[in-house]
């Protein structure tokens, strides 16, 4: 369903439209990362380091802007 949303429904902000606000559940983050890899927004190294953020090269399993401010817009999981 996310693929259909990305392809046909979700809109980025423009001058005429404020953009859609999509809240992703935490367990959906691997699929969102896979799509971002195919789009060239994350590297293969980052993808291979999923859930291995210790050295700062991995991808967080939590879709949270505190961990990845350039990727996630909303904190949709609890960090505590």
Q: pLDDT tens digits for 12-59?
A: 889 998 888 877 777 777 888 888 898 898 888 888 888 777 676 677
Distance between CA atoms of residues 35 and 42, nearest Å = 9
Question: For 59, which DSSP code?
Answer: B
Distance between CA atoms of residues 15 and 55, nearest Å = 38
User: What is the pLDDT at residue 40?
Assistant: 92
Domain range for 76 is 23-80
Answer whether 0.75 is exceeded by the pTM: no
The answer to whether residue 15 is domain-embedded is no
Among 26, 36, 24, residue whose Cα is nearest residue 61 = 26
Residues near 60 by Cβ (< 8 Å), separated by ≥ 6? 29, 51, 53, 67, 68
The answer to whether residue 5 is domain-embedded is no
The answer to whether residue 16 is domain-embedded is no
Q: Which H helix or E strand runs over 74?
A: none
The answer to whether residue 31 is domain-embedded is yes
């Amino acid at each position: 369903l996310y693929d259909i949303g990305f392809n046909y429904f979700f809109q980025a902000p423009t001058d005429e439209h404020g953009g859609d606000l999509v809240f992703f559940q935490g367990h959906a983050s691997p699929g969102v990362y896979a799509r971002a890899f195919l789009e060239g927004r994350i590297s293969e190294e980052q993808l291979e380091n999923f859930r291995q953020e210790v050295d700062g090269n991995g991808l967080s399993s939590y879709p949270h802007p505190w961990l990845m401010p350039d990727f996630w817009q909303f904190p949709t999981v609890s960090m505590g």
